[in-house]
Amino acid sequence: MRISELKAEEIPAVNELIRSSKSYWPQDPEYLKEALKLVGIDQDWMRTKSGYALYEKELVGFLGIEEKEDFWYLEHLWIAPGKIGSSFGKQAIEFLIDKARSAGIYKISLLPEPSSEEFYAKMGAVYTGVEVASRVVNGPVFKEMVFGTLAFETRR
């Protein structure tokens, strides 16, 4: 797999990947319709955040982060539906942890989709106890998770 910094011309393909990946998991159709309006990216997003495209032969994933002073926020990790379970998510997290460590960052926070909480836990993220209601009426509650020092130490 190749991971490269996102280019503006990749935004439409990334938004299609986000749409298809979010739609992959069983969800209330009304919730999904409204949620899809909130999860895309654009050039304004790119000005303040960092995005990475994951490629095999074609685009297979997208990783998007917001770099805060003392931690990073994992805003996006989407894998193409046909590639879920093929280690691309694992490779993306390993890339992210290595990149953060190189920058002197030892905490990555995220609010994962409920369907992906188990994946992040297997990768070393832990629940903080913070819960955030969806911005969409009748949407799920998102549970904050973090990759902390232990996750960074076990990936050396």
The CATH number of whichever domain residue 84 belongs to comes to 3.40.630.30
pLDDT tens per residue across span 78-136: 999 999 999 999 999 999 999 999 999 999 999 999 999 999 999 999 999 999 999 99
Using alpha carbons, select from 151, 147, 117, 152 the residue that is nearest to residue 131: 117
Domain housing 119: 2-154
Amino acid letter, 145: M
pTM: 0.91
Tokens 């409204």: give the residue. 34
Amino acid letter, 84: I
Q: How many structural domains compose the chain?
A: 1
